[in-house]
Amino acid sequence: MVDRLTLTVNSRLARWLLLHDSRQQSLDGNQVWERPAIYSISEWMQQAWLQSWPEQHVLSELQSKHLWQKIIREDPATPELNLLHVQGAASQAFKAYQLIQEYRLPQEPEGFIHYTEETLVFRRWMTRYQKQLQEWRALDPAELMDALTVRMDQGHISPPNEIIFHGFDEITPQMQEWITLLKNKKVSIQFKPFEPSPVTSDQLKEIISNKQTTVQKYEDANEEVRQCARWIRSVYKEGETIGIVVPELEIYRERLEREFKAELAPESVYPWIEKHIPFNISLGTPLSHEPMVHLALLLLSQNSKRIPLLAFSTLITSPFLKLPDGEKQFRRNLDWSLRGGTITQVFLPQVLKQEERKKFPALTTLLDELMSWVDDTSFRLPSEWARGISKFLGKVEWPTSFETLSSQQYQVLNSWNECLDCLSSLDRILQKINRTQAVSHLTHIARETLFQPQTPEEPIQVVGLLESAGMEFDHLWVMGCHDEILPPFPNPNPFLPFLSHQKPFNLPHSTAEQELIFTEQTLFRLAHACKHLVFSYPTWQEETEMDPSPLLAPWVLKENTIQSSTSNKVQDHSGFAVSLERVEEFFPISVSPEEIDFIQGGTGILKNQAECPFRAFAIHRLFSRNKAFAELDMNDSLKGSMIHKIMELFWNQVRTSQNLHDLHDSNQLVELIRSCVEETMRFFNLDTERQKVFCQLEQKRLISLVDTWMEYERERSHFEVVETEQEKTVHLEGLPLNLKVDRIDRTTDGKTILIDYKTGHLLNLKKWFGERLEDPQLPMYSMDMNADSVAFAIIRRGDSRYRGLSSEENIIPKVSSNITRENPELKTWEDLKDFWNTGLKQLATEFLRGHLNVAPLHSDETCKYCDQNTLCRKTEVLSFSNGDKE
């Protein structure tokens, strides 16, 4: 029998005490010793219970919560309530049940039915819950202490001689009963650091004043953390401990960790260097956010053979799945080739060609395994799913090989395995479930599992308010002490009646009064646990100005006493305080002959050159491009391409306006249009399988759009379509340009018309008349073809017409020959062509000579959809040019 047992309020404290004990042992010169009996109370109770070989078992918290969930889902009222967050409700119910046990709350129905819907329904759930426990011969975790008390009373468990309760801020009535029993059994009971009891505000004031406490105020939480980190450096002495207690640790955790690392172990900002981190932080992050686990869950959560492009791209390039060197480049190019277009999903069976399957076996395995995974429609028990998942991951070699894992990844994997344990433990509650449900449960488990790499216990400890219970430090800094957290807003459990339960039994968090008492007690405990004490708070939280906790207000200083200016962060290093040099760049960079052969492009080159010479340089000479993931398939640009194709198919068959009229008169027009539309849709490989209806709508739309357009074409005088989508290369001042004319018509009297289809936004003929030719396409063609008319065919619902210019009226209806209206200096068609000629040549020359200044033609508009905005450094370049007055 153990003589002395130490029970701590949480496992963090048990570990802390064990460490201190071990340190003492080694100071005493011992090399090996028996581990002392120091346990967290819940761990000890579990063990003590099991060692008495009872016939009832205690549910795990996870099992209990899932049982609540199941009961809630099956409750007759639930469908009506249409709850958004059943898991949350189950959690609250779990806690309510715990409070009932701990605080000996009345359980009988009378106490519940008079109250709100929530308490009433909860009562019904609870009955179901208890019935289920009974059936299973199981206990709720909160019932363990009572069961233990009984079993101890009956002599199945023999108590130790002495128990030290460590770090308890509060003794619940339930615990009190057990302690009474222990005392009756002559167990000696001690409390450390002291027996919990309410403190008066005077006691609190006194202890704070005695510690020469200061309350520091900082501009915001970032500054608070930064200064705290510097303070640690300045006060730390070997052999001493520093505690940073943070009431809202979950909010502060990330920046605390980062700032402390950056200040205390500066080199750790380079994550490729493995650094020892000289402090501990007592809160982890969700396991599901670990990149390795995130990837596994992404893989598992795929639901069909069509998977989103982004997921596909992530999976095939992930280093966590088998990725042999020989496949890297292929996969990278495959990924890149799918981006930037209108593809949003990848159809797995079509990814690899037969011959590629042999060349890239790892990818083949991945795709095959994934396909059979998404095909699995069976219903199985969670434990069977856990096995299945483990097998699937094994086959695709997640997470590659064990040998190459870092120590942290190793721990992640351990933690993942525990998640599978957890999933397995739900067989009885969840029964048989399908694949999606299994993955969803596993995902939730991984999300709830906080992962925290195991590290040595450092003399510098960052802990939350509750976890700080029982710990003692030489220096203590309590962070984020603003008035909304000390004391906090009350947050009573909604499932327990307020007036009969919460208030009279003084349940934790039930009322503002209760919160104040508890806060005072906590502050007192903290003040007690250290030699030097600092409180701090941020003045601003986003846009809200914060006040210090009213309990600390008397000690707030006007001027902070702790305001260290020296930072050890790499980024604050004086070596970074250099002034930038400003150099003039030497332009132009002319296009060399070999480059000319390499440049490929059409009038886009001229258009870019006109709009911004730099853009033309970047795109056509640096080949500077990026690609985004499309949000939608069948977007506007694809729709534009489809119209082009339909028109091409149509006019290749019909050729003349006479034929068009004939078709119309013989009622065959719509049929022909339909066949063109159908062929086009096949050409663009539309997803007619899964988006059948949408494609039908699209087909209908296209037919009616084209049909309407043909009405308009029929109004024209006789013409013949001489070319569609004609391609050729022309040279302008030596610059080769690939031209593609949508269509060339010829009228009976031999006039040539150039036509460009437009389906998008409104267009502005002014772009043909500016100092720089912003829309050089048709002017360029007209140069080459010697056209008599150039026109945009605007094909849009409700707005179908030609717009353009002609050498004389009525070549096309409503396409005017009034050039002077647009530019008074141009009188005739020939003038216009000269004007264009000059403009085009100028652009080509500029480009070839390598004029490449950042000079957007219409500052904001030109840049709005430009993807070179990170490269051009426009803001700097332009402000220098303008501000260059001195």
Partner 1 sequence: MSASAKDKQARREALNIEGSYIVQAPAGSGKTELLIQRYLKLLAHVQRPEQILAMTFTRKAAGEMKSRVLLALKRAREAAPPKEAHEKTTWEIARQALRHSQTLEWRILENPQRLKIQTIDSFCTSLTKQTPLLSGMGSLLEIEENAGKLYRETAHQILTQVEDDTPTGLAVRAILNRLDNSKPRFLDRIVQLLNKRDQWMISFFENADEYRSREDQERILSGLVESTLKECHDSLSPPLKTELIQLARYSGSNISATNPDDILACLKNLQDFPEPSADKLKLWKALASMLLTKSGEPRKKLDKSIGFPPGKNDTAQNYKDRMQDILEELKERADLIELLVNVKALPNPRLNDEEWEFLENMLELLPEIDRILRKIFTDRGKIDFAEIALSSKKALGQEMAPSDLLLKLDSKLTHILVDEFQDTSFKQIALLKLLTEGWEPDKGNSLFLVGDPMQSIYRFRDAEVGLFVQAKKNGLGHIPLKNLQLLTNFRSQKHVVDWVNRCFSKILPEIDEPDRGAIAYTECSPHQKESLEPGVVLHPAAESKSNEEAHHVVNTIQNIRTRHPGDSIAVLVQARPHLLRIVPLLQEAGIQFRAEDIDPLTSRPAILDLLALMRALISPLDRVSWLSILRAPWCGLSLKDLHSLCRLDHKSPVWDLLNDPDRFKQLSKEGQQRADRFIQALQPALNLFPTINFRNLLEGCWIKLGGPACIDTYTQKDIQVFFDKVTEVLDGGEFDNLHNFEGILENLFANPSTGEGHAVQIMTIHKAKGLEFDFVLLPGLGKRHKADEKQLINWITHGHNLLFAPIPQAGEEDSEVYEFLKRLEKDRGRYETRRLLYVAATRTKKQLHLFGHTQVTKDGIAPQSPSSLRHLWGFIAEDWKKVFEEIKPPEETAIKLQDKPQYLQRLPLNFETPDAPPDIRTEPAMDLSLEEEVLYEWAGTEARCLGNVLHRLFETIVKEGLDHWDVQRVDQMTPSLRSSLLAEGMSPVNLEKTVEKGVRALKNILKDGNGRKILKRYENEGAELALTYIDGNNYRTKIVDRTYVDENGVRWIIDYKTGERSGGNVEGFFKQEIKRYRSQLESYERLIRLQGETRPIKKALYYPLHQRLVEI
Site for partner 1 in 787-806 (CB under 8 A): 796-799
Q: Min. distance of Cβ 447 from partner 1 in angstroms?
A: 8
Distance, C-alpha 468 to centroid of its chain:
32
Is 870 a binder of partner 1 (CB under 8 A)? Answer: yes
Q: Which of 862, 850, 838, 869 is nearest to 608 (CA)?
A: 862
Q: Rounded to whole angstroms, how far apart are CA atoms 111 and 649? A: 80
- Closer of 160 and 497 to partner 1 (Cβ): 497
Which one of 2, 24, 51, 711 is in contact with partner 1 (CB under 8 A)?
A: 51
Which one of 254, 356, 711, 808 is in contact with partner 1 (CB under 8 A)?
A: 254
What is the total count of residues that contact partner 1 (CB under 8 A)? 207
Is 414 a binder of partner 1 (CB under 8 A)? Answer: yes
Q: Min. distance of Cβ 278 from partner 1 in angstroms?
A: 5
User: CA separation (Å) from 363 to 317, 327, 336, 460, 772?
Assistant: 10, 8, 16, 47, 51
Q: Rounded to whole angstroms, how far apart are CA atoms 319 and 526? A: 46
Is 50 a binder of partner 1 (CB under 8 A)? Answer: yes
Binding residues for partner 1 restricted to 328-387, rule: CB under 8 A = 332-333, 336, 381-383, 386-387
Binding residues for partner 1 restricted to 636-665, rule: CB under 8 A = 636, 639
Is 527 a binder of partner 1 (CB under 8 A)? Answer: no
Binding residues for partner 1 restricted to 127-186, rule: CB under 8 A = 137-138
- Closer of 32 and 665 to partner 1 (Cβ): 32
User: Binding segment for partner 1 among 263-271, 363-371, 472-480, 810-818 (CB under 8 A)?
Assistant: 263-271
Binding residues for partner 1 restricted to 557-596, rule: CB under 8 A = 568, 570-587, 589, 594-595
Which one of 691, 842, 845, 862 is in contact with partner 1 (CB under 8 A)?
A: 691
Give me the DSSP letters along 107-172: -STHHHHTS-HHHHHHHHHHHHHHHHHHHHTEE-GGGHHHHHHHHHHTTSS---SEEEEES-S---
Given a contact cutoff of 8 angstroms between Cβ atoms, the answer to whether 66 and 437 are in contact is: no
Which one of 83, 189, 450, 557 is in contact with partner 1 (CB under 8 A)?
A: 83
Distance, C-alpha 362 to centroid of its chain:
28
Which one of 130, 132, 285, 434 is in contact with partner 1 (CB under 8 A)?
A: 285
Which one of 40, 92, 98, 216 is in contact with partner 1 (CB under 8 A)?
A: 92
Which one of 353, 499, 561, 593 is in contact with partner 1 (CB under 8 A)?
A: 499
Neighbours of 17 (CB within 10 A): 21
Produce one character per residue of 134-158: b if its CB has 16 or more CB atoms within 10 Å, e if not: eeeebbbbbbbbbbbbebbeeeebe
Q: Min. distance of Cβ 502 from partner 1 in angstroms?
A: 8
Q: Is 790 helix (H, G, I), strand (E, B) or coil?
A: strand
- Closer of 313 and 468 to partner 1 (Cβ): 313
User: Binding segment for partner 1 among 191-199, 539-547, 734-742, 746-754 (CB under 8 A)?
Assistant: 539-547
Is 219 a binder of partner 1 (CB under 8 A)? Answer: yes
Binding mask 441-460 for partner 1 (x = CB under 8 A): ------x------xxxxxxx
243 pairs with which residues across the strands?
461, 476
Q: Which of 167, 185, 141 is nearest to 49 (CA)?
A: 141
Q: Min. distance of Cβ 718 from partner 1 in angstroms?
A: 29
Q: Rounded to whole angstroms, how far apart are CA atoms 497 and 653? A: 81
Radius of gyration of the chain (CA): 38
Strands 530-541, 789-794: pairing kind: unpaired
Is 516 a binder of partner 1 (CB under 8 A)? Answer: yes
Binding residues for partner 1 restricted to 103-132, rule: CB under 8 A = 115-118, 121
Is 885 a binder of partner 1 (CB under 8 A)? Answer: no
Q: Can you say whether residue 758 is alpha, beta or left, with left for phi > 0 and alpha for psi between -120 and 50 degrees?
A: beta
Q: Min. distance of Cβ 527 from partner 1 in angstroms?
A: 16
Is 288 a binder of partner 1 (CB under 8 A)? Answer: yes
Q: Rounded to whole angstroms, how far apart are CA atoms 302 and 346? A: 12
Is 202 a binder of partner 1 (CB under 8 A)? Answer: no
Q: Min. distance of Cβ 777 from partner 1 in angstroms?
A: 23
**Which residues fall within 8 angstroms of residue 656, CB to CB, at 6 or more apart?**
718, 719, 720, 721
Binding mask 456-495 for partner 1 (x = CB under 8 A): xxxxx----------------------xx--xxxxxx-xx
Q: Min. distance of Cβ 668 from partner 1 in angstroms?
A: 25
Strands 162-166, 188-192: pairing kind: parallel
Is 15 a binder of partner 1 (CB under 8 A)? Answer: yes
